[in-house]
Structure 1
Amino acid sequence: MKKVHPLLEWLKKNPAPTAVQPHLTGSSTGVDRRGFLRNSALGGLSLGMLFDGKPEREMEFITQRVKRESKPSDLKITDMRVAVLQGVPFSSPIIRIDTNQGLVGWGEVRDGASANYALTLKSRILGKNPCNVEQIFKQIKQFGGHSRAAGGVCGVEMALWDLAGKAYNVPAYQLLGGKYRDYIRLYADTPEGKDYDEFAKHMVRRRDQGYTFLKMDFGIGMIADTPGMLVGAKNWSVKQQWNDSQPGKMGNYAQTKHPFTRIQVTKKGIDALALHVSKVRDIVGYETPLAADHFGHFDVNTAIQIGKAMEPFRLAWLEDLVPWFYTDQWKQISDAIDTPTLTGEDIFGKAEFIKLIDARAIDMIHPDLASSGGLLETKKIGDYAEENGIPMAMHFAGSPICMMANVHCAAATENFVALEHHGVDVDGWEDIVTGMKPIVDKGFVKVPDKPGLGVELNEDVAKKFLKKGATWFAPTDSWNTRDSADRDWS
């Protein structure tokens, strides 16, 4: 009696995956061992060594090249590490979450925020199934705060969607309910120049790059050195809107909320700002939407005066005229001027957006996904605004990892208008990831159909952006153990 090879005996009891069935059956009447061995050899799977008669090991070897999807229900988080990139265009901590099935999820802490905002969450997510994104988000949400303090929660949430998409083999937007659009429109921030001619060259370059939506700066810092433009600004470091290292005679300008500086802009100053915008409009034309960025720290009355002066130029919006939490002041400004108002890049969670929307205090919302709560929370924010007739632009100033998280959210949100791109002039920016080339094409990003976020970190290039003194995804075992009770109710 002919002896049956143990592998074939095992295969009869354990049917092979569909993808390898053609190699295992030679006819409709039974298993053809010779044909199976021949096909295996042709496929590069030599069976010259039969693993000491252990069919389980032979089967594992035979099917090692067969594409398998993850087992989402068994997926577990095993590790989280970070690497801080610098100059993309600012500092951006990149998160890597590892799993027991070899899947890796990428996320990003918001620009300018500490990687520790994410690392403190590691002990809270180890061992959890990353596919339970909303459940995990609700458990770690309490560790987020407004602006950069939200960076850890949002960065982890991005990585969870990346993992969930890879586990189910679908793009992240599909898990958010599908997409409204195939392309995401970008708006490009444009740097100031030392004079109008240099600034004009920057604007022309943006136009030639194909951007169909632009944003500019024309705050009070640009007129601070000209006599007769500002009232009460002499003792403030007006040109240091973001630099909180200069205390100044009156206090730290960067840390003093707008209404408390008591700086005013004169008629001469407002005319100078209007002249600047008119020259930019001459360059850009009126076919291209043109938005305005931060203006400096002054009160509601000055904001209204500037807003009225800008009305002839039909700007897309005036951004962050006063801090986002002054709801009544925002409504006062919005009711007084015809140019759309916008705020929101530092708001964490939908609750504060709801207050602004319900009060009809602003004309547009402007969440930064790396602060607002990640993909799902930002979609919820957008959906609430959409139900109330308010459009959503999105703020962004990070690496391609965070951009792709924004792209999937924007694709899945109906009232989306445009996404900011702050890294247009960063050499090598697109090469930080693989999976899309180019990422930006004439001011638009094609929504990827690859699983998860659709890109992977290109370590060879990303290492060139590694912040001086930072480590490259070093072990973070010191963050493995939770040392506090987290329940925020009794």
Structure 2
Amino acid sequence: MNKQGTKETFESVLAHVNTNSRPSELRITDIRFADIVGIPTHCSLIKVYTNQGIVGFGEVRDNAEKLYALMLKSRLLGENPCNIDKLFRRIKQFGSHGRQGGGVSGLEIALWDIAGKAYGIPIYQMLGGKFRDKIRMYCDTDVDGKDTGTAMGEALKKRMEQGYTFLKMDLGINQIAHEPGTLSGPAGFVQEVRDLSAQWRNRFNVPMSRELRSKHFDLTNIAHPFTGVHVTEQGLDMLEQYVAEVRNVIGYEVPLAIDHFGHIGVEDCIKLGRRIEKFNLAWMEDMIPWQYTQQYVRLAQSVTTPICTGEDIYLKENFRPLLESGGISVVHPDMLTAGGILETKKLGDMAQEYGVAMAIHMAESPIACLAAVHAAAAVENFLALEFHSNDVPWWDDLIISKLPKPLLQNGFIAVPDAPGLGIEELNDEAIAQHLHPEIPGLWEPTDSWNNYWSNDRQWS
């Protein structure tokens, strides 16, 4: 190529780059938060500010604590946000499984958003391009107000009429605990957990006392193998009948995944799995804690329905035991726990090597949703992305963009070609209407977190 051609190519690239100064001179100057509720639960939205006026948007995972992100501010201030992998390696030691991965993951997303805006390209392009132009969404539908399988089936049928081509519902011991003879276990334990769970779901309308919060955590933190709760034949009959009624309404062709079985041991999971495998299910999700690899192997070898887990696993290497053992057929990360966008992309590629599909868990705002859309576009073995806010009419109002509105149309979200996530700005007016009642601040200063320091190295 001649010198003139080289110059033209260079200038054509710069024409699409935000050169308020230059991307190499970008620096992080501040990190602030806004806590909202109702999508369907509590999420902390993140703004990462830079010296060039570019702002990146991120989000701490649903029902997590923004402290997990605040504690990382001093590790990021003054750094170039475009050095995403470098900064991720610096902060990833401060994340962990479940909601504790939310701070690292949410900030990683904001860094990608800044980089995309600085260079004028969508995130998926920085991941190597896309395999698809639109992302299939699967619609989660909880059991509230749906005491029969027929009622649930009618609710799911309405989802299908809205264009959804993939569905998920809850099926578990909470649905039968009220019926005598369906469960066996320590006297009063099941009903106590059920009553406390109902109060927990209503905690923003009727605040729970510290004593009730503590009791809720004590009871619900007992892992599945240790509760002593078992499903009787009568209980299995009721759960089987529930699924049969659902399929009678929606038919057998649409994929139907099932979640929220309750804290029962692997033997009861196998019993239930065998009862409902005739209903052509897409997967059974999180039947036992993800850490029990060999129990997942037992489960997978005992039923024919695909087994799915992963929303609480942090970092791709922690998925490897389940993949190597053959314990799952569908890997199911939540981007706001797994480590963010690049870690989810790497996980999908790793799962493909084991012949395992990837679905993505998502119960948050459009920020996390669009981050998942970009990762899903860049992964070949992608199956479907969760949508948990179908009944939240203001969900789309949280962002300002040139993207289609509603963002989700006919069961799909189009992959954005706009820079970064595709969000131009957050809608502070809409956010202000849905602030957490106990955390009402909107992008308030976080200067008290600017100067924390420790020798973070984990080796001598």
Same fold (TM over 0.5): yes
1:74-473 pair list within 5 angstroms: 74-192=25-143, 193-196=145-148, 197-232=150-185, 234-236=187-189, 237-239=192-194, 240=196, 243=200, 245=213, 247=215, 252-435=218-401, 436=403, 437-455=405-423, 456-468=425-437, 469-473=439-443
- Which one has more relative contact order, counting CA pairs under 8 Å at least 6 apart? 2
Tell me if structure 2 keeps the 8 A contact 1:330–1:362: yes
Question: SS where residue 396 of structure 1 aligns?
Answer: coil
Give the total of aligned pairs.
Answer: 426
Tell me if structure 2 keeps the 8 A contact 1:241–1:296: no
1:61-80 pair list within 5 angstroms: 68=19, 71-80=22-31
- Closer/same/farther in 2, CA of residues 67 and 395 from structure 1, 3 Å limit: closer
Paired with 1:68 and 1:297, the residues of 2 have a C-alpha distance of 54
| 1:67 CA drift (Å) | 7.7
The residue identity in structure 2 corresponding to 1:296 is G
- Closer/same/farther in 2, CA of residues 116 and 263 from structure 1, 3 Å limit: same
Deviation per CA, 1:426-476: give whole Å up to 9, x if none.
121111112122200011000000000001311221221111242110111
Deviation per CA, 1:327-378: give whole Å up to 9, x if none.
0100010011100101110000011101110111111111000000000001
Paired with 2:187 and 2:251, the residues of 1 have a C-alpha distance of 36
The residue identity in structure 2 corresponding to 1:125 is L
Which residue among 446, 449, 458 is the counterpart of 1:479? 449
| 1:217 CA drift (Å) | 0.7
Structure 2 unpaired stretches of 5+: 1-10, 201-211
Question: SS where residue 92 of structure 2 aligns?
Answer: helix
- Percent pairwise identity: 49
Paired with 2:298 and 2:276, the residues of 1 have a C-alpha distance of 17
| 1:90 CA drift (Å) | 0.8
The residue identity in structure 2 corresponding to 1:289 is P
Paired with 1:238 and 1:68, the residues of 2 have a C-alpha distance of 56
Tell me if structure 2 keeps the 8 A contact 1:241–1:253: no
Tell me if structure 2 keeps the 8 A contact 1:258–1:299: yes
- Closer/same/farther in 2, CA of residues 231 and 300 from structure 1, 3 Å limit: same
Question: SS where residue 245 of structure 1 aligns?
Answer: helix
Question: SS where residue 355 of structure 2 aligns?
Answer: coil
- Closer/same/farther in 2, CA of residues 467 and 245 from structure 1, 3 Å limit: closer
In the superposition, the TM-score normalised over structure 2's length comes to: 0.89
Paired with 1:172 and 1:419, the residues of 2 have a C-alpha distance of 17
Paired with 1:374 and 1:67, the residues of 2 have a C-alpha distance of 24
- Closer/same/farther in 2, CA of residues 285 and 69 from structure 1, 3 Å limit: farther
Query: Over alpha carbons, which structure has the higher Rg?
Result: 1
Tell me if structure 1 keeps the 8 A contact 2:139–2:159: yes
Paired with 2:184 and 2:65, the residues of 1 have a C-alpha distance of 37
The residue identity in structure 2 corresponding to 1:185 is R
Structure 1 unpaired stretches of 5+: 1-17, 20-65
- Closer/same/farther in 2, CA of residues 69 and 290 from structure 1, 3 Å limit: farther
Tell me if structure 2 keeps the 8 A contact 1:69–1:168: no
In the superposition, the TM-score normalised over structure 1's length comes to: 0.84
Deviation per CA, 1:225-251: give whole Å up to 9, x if none.
111111115421342569583748xx9
Tell me if structure 2 keeps the 8 A contact 1:221–1:238: no
Paired with 2:400 and 2:308, the residues of 1 have a C-alpha distance of 34
Paired with 2:108 and 2:55, the residues of 1 have a C-alpha distance of 13
Question: SS where residue 310 of structure 1 aligns?
Answer: helix
Paired with 1:426 and 1:385, the residues of 2 have a C-alpha distance of 33
Tell me if structure 2 keeps the 8 A contact 1:110–1:151: yes
The residue identity in structure 2 corresponding to 1:328 is Q
| 1:86 CA drift (Å) | 1.2
Farther off after superposition, 67-76 or 365-374: 67-76
| 1:203 CA drift (Å) | 1.6
Please list every run of at least 4 consecutive aligned residues from structure 1 whose deviation after the TM superposition is greater than 6 angstroms.
none
| 1:288 CA drift (Å) | 0.8
The residue identity in structure 2 corresponding to 1:222 is Q
Deviation per CA, 1:59-96: give whole Å up to 9, x if none.
xxxxxxx9857611111111111111111211110110
Paired with 1:401 and 1:379, the residues of 2 have a C-alpha distance of 17
Farther off after superposition, 153-162 or 433-442: 433-442
Residue aligning to 2:4: none
Deviation per CA, 1:85-130: give whole Å up to 9, x if none.
1112111101100101110000000001111111111100001111
Tell me if structure 2 keeps the 8 A contact 1:70–1:167: no
- Closer/same/farther in 2, CA of residues 241 and 326 from structure 1, 3 Å limit: farther
| 1:209 CA drift (Å) | 1.4
